[in-house]
Chain A
Amino acid sequence: MRRLLTRRREALALVSVLLALALALAFMTRLTTPKQHAYGSVWGHFLQEEPDSEDVLFFGSSLVYCDVAPAALWETTGLSSFVMAGPEQTIPMTALYLREALRTQSPQAVFVELTGMFYHRCTNYTKTNVGQMPWGYNRLAATFTEAEPEVRAGLLFPLLFYHDRWSELTADDWTVALRGYSRDPLAGYTCMRQWRPSEGFQVRPPERDPENFERSWASLVQIRDLCLSRGIIPVFYVAPTLLRVRQADMDALLARVRALEGARVLDGNAVFDSPGLDESYDFYDSLHLNVAGARKFTEFLGGWIRSELALRPAAARDAALWRARSEYLRALEAQPLEQWKPKES
């Protein structure tokens, strides 16, 4: 009897301490993981959005989170939206982002930027793209299918990557760890505040890897299928840039996408002049729009959405929130842009 009691006490103590340890480690992970407020992968902010409150979701790479300002889209169309892109995000990663985002949102349309079709399987930002995702099946899938083998352990146990940040923690780290993320006033958009004189249109060095391209294509088809199965309009588009993928490659891709049943396509480079983009002032660099360019491009997108997709704002959106977001963006736009300067060596 005494032995049984001792064993029970041991078991109770072991379970309690393991639980306490797991909670402590989870908190330390939350505290030390870098907080992502901009430059994509802003899952913490995204999960603060009211469920089923977004009319449109945007996915892709930095060409999305630098180019699309949801507040400007709301002003133009009354549609609520969020940019859930990630840096150098590949299309298979986008597919997992979409699956995860659809757990809390039921948008009318999903926009996916297509340049990611030409990225390599693993980019410089796998750690950010996967590491900021909420825990669950999609994060595990991303860890084992999209991340380099050498970073997998750190993605599963983030203290491996970040535990030594304890000596450089800021007030923001503590605030987010204790209270959680707040709502993002820019709804996933990253405001670039410099302009860079144009060097004209250029062709990106070829990055296409045939095997990976087909893998990305399969994910693109999955994205289309998932959207259609949920009654969402899938839109595949190309962001307007000065530095572009080889025209023949992009034309071949667009032709293939256009042939996909149910998919809508928009080539931002083909209609480069329509938004009224000024190539010598509206670009942060040869790929990304600055805040002035983002306003023009987003308003153009709004017009395109109205005429081509005929979406109507859902009743659930929070008008006060969107007014505040609009004012926030206007305040940023009111500040003069700086000219880009090369870093001093």
Chain B
Amino acid sequence: MPFHSARYVLFLAAAACVHALLPPRRRNLFLLAAGWGFYALCSLRFLPLLLLSVLVNYALALGMERRPSKKGLYLALGLCADLGALFLCKYLGFFAQLAAALTGWPGGGLPALALPAGISFYTFVVSGYLIDVFRGDRPPERRFCEFALFASFFPAVLSGPIARAEGLLPQLHEPDRLSGADAKTGVTRFLIGLSKKLLLADQLAIFVNTAYAAPAAHTGMQLLAAALAYSLQIYCDFSAYSDMAVGSALLFGIRLPENFDAPYLARSIRDFWRRWHISLSSWFRDYLYIPLGGSRRGRLRAWFNVLVVFAVSGLWHGAALTFLVWGLLNGVYQVLEGLLRRPAARLRGRLGLREDAAPLRWAQTALTFLLLTVTWVFFRAESLSQALLILRRIATLAGGVFPLGFAALGLTRIRLAAVGLCALVLFVCEATGWGRALPARLCGRVWPRYAVWALLVLAVAVFGAYGSGYRAQEFVYFRF
């Protein structure tokens, strides 16, 4: 049940209405039932796995409190159970194939198991909680309903944002957290997300899918356009999902962590990773990078740690070499940034450029965007060889520059222009900060708020990628 489907909108509206009408002390129980019902509608056969994960982590956290001497054992058991399930479902086939390719081991034909919906996300939620309890950062949650709701809150269970216990659990203990202002902000966020998905991400998907379906049949310019379009598509797609998740949660008075902060305005790859998929990046920082030693053990070790974190992050996105290369490339970029920091500062000094000079800022932003676009080619490609083919054709401008032939990628000129206009609006909103402030600003203003809602609905209804003639595009991150 994707967030941009009529079924989800009806489900959300019904759940929000019932939730608001219930007495406050019954609301969490209802939300939990709604969450499990939602998960069952999406992936009924894997609901027991989610319930088992909830039960095991709930019990182990309580066990840590009762028997502090066995905390380590309980943590190990919990992580083995959580990450073991994730490994079995997501990585067994991949590593078996890899081992077979490297060693000739005959077990490479192990079939890949079906991936339970949201397993990468809810596993990180409960694992993070268990580690927090182990470290003594927070006491274990005693109330099962609240813990289960924390692990399986329906707006976040499938694709995040990856909630942290310190942020979400206290909210679940507030009996009367519902507010009209939050609900209004939530609707605005949801509609902004819906617009990003249907006006931009899914229109760009037509363009991108056509090029990636047959890269050898397209010119270097077409592939370059598709690669740039994919950079925009994946941002619009995932940030749309996050907007809709955050907006949905606000209808129940719950604030989920933000996942994005204008990432393509980043001036470096490191800066980008502070702004992109923030809930995942901060999870890796707190539960992997820092335990590995972070930057406390010298520069070399810090760079090694960065590479490890980004390799794991790549594999977290998918069990394929393309994702591994994507992650490693992001890590390598950051190592190179570290190496070049001092020479770049010296060069700036010689040129008399201030660090925050506008031309430098924009040049850094553009360069970062281009470097990221290269990594997204690996992320989107079906295989390493396809990614390399695309990059080679782009680098050599295969097929010449003119005619550009963008219309051959499935979007007519007028549609391309419309997508360009929407992208420009998005860029202005991000660059000026209006987009972020808009939902809260509209909250207290009656007429502008309703006018913006109506305009967004109308824009989606008329220009959105839905209905006959379009193949519904699932959210990219639903696959992870």
- Say which residue of B464, B465, B468 sits within 8 Å of A154 (CB atoms): B468
Contact assessment for A164 and B467 in the assembled complex, using a CB-CB cutoff below 8 Å:
yes
User: A167 an interface residue at 8 Å Cβ cutoff?
Assistant: yes
Q: Kindly list chain A residues whose C-beta atoms are within 8 Å of the C-beta of B462.
A: 28, 32, 159, 163, 166
Given contacts A21-B458, A167-B414, A167-B415, contact A161 B467 (CB under 8 A): yes
Taking CB atoms and an 8 Å cut-off, the chain B residues in 445-469 that contact chain A are 446-447, 449-451, 453-454, 457-458, 461-469
A20–B451 CA distance with the chains assembled, in angstroms = 9
A97–B457 CA distance with the chains assembled, in angstroms = 33
Contact assessment for B463 and A13 in the assembled complex, using a CB-CB cutoff below 8 Å:
no
User: B105 an interface residue at 8 Å Cβ cutoff?
Assistant: no
Contact assessment for B446 and A164 in the assembled complex, using a CB-CB cutoff below 8 Å:
no
Contact assessment for B470 and A159 in the assembled complex, using a CB-CB cutoff below 8 Å:
no
CB distance from B318 to the nearest CB of A (A): 31
Contact assessment for B468 and A10 in the assembled complex, using a CB-CB cutoff below 8 Å:
no
CB distance from A218 to the nearest CB of B (A): 32
Q: Which of A20, A161, A167 has the most CB of B within 10 A?
A: A167
Contact assessment for B461 and A159 in the assembled complex, using a CB-CB cutoff below 8 Å:
yes
Q: Which bucket holds chain A's interface residue count?
A: 20 to 34
Contact assessment for A167 and B412 in the assembled complex, using a CB-CB cutoff below 8 Å:
yes
Contact assessment for A13 and B457 in the assembled complex, using a CB-CB cutoff below 8 Å:
no
Contact assessment for A17 and B468 in the assembled complex, using a CB-CB cutoff below 8 Å:
no
CB distance from B266 to the nearest CB of A (A): 34
Q: Kindly list chain B residues whose C-beta atoms are within 8 Å of the C-beta of A324.
A: none
Q: Kindly list chain B residues whose C-beta atoms are within 8 Å of the C-beta of A9.
A: 446
Given contacts A14-B450, A24-B458, contact A166 B463 (CB under 8 A): yes
A227–B463 CA distance with the chains assembled, in angstroms = 45
User: A160 an interface residue at 8 Å Cβ cutoff?
Assistant: yes
Given contacts A21-B458, A24-B458, A25-B458, contact A163 B464 (CB under 8 A): yes
Contact assessment for B415 and A163 in the assembled complex, using a CB-CB cutoff below 8 Å:
no
Contact assessment for A160 and B466 in the assembled complex, using a CB-CB cutoff below 8 Å:
yes
A166–B453 CA distance with the chains assembled, in angstroms = 21
CB distance from A203 to the nearest CB of B (A): 36
CB distance from B256 to the nearest CB of A (A): 26
Q: Which of B414, B462, B465, B470 has the most CB of A within 10 A?
A: B462
User: Which chain B residues have a beta carbon within 8 Å of chain A's beta carbons?
Assistant: 412, 414-415, 418, 446-447, 449-451, 453-454, 457-458, 461-470
Q: A17-B451, A160-B468 are in contact. List 20 more A-B contacts (CB 8 A).
A: A6-B446, A14-B450, A17-B447, A17-B453, A17-B454, A18-B454, A21-B454, A25-B461, A28-B458, A154-B468, A159-B461, A159-B467, A163-B462, A164-B465, A164-B467, A164-B469, A164-B470, A166-B463, A167-B414, A168-B412
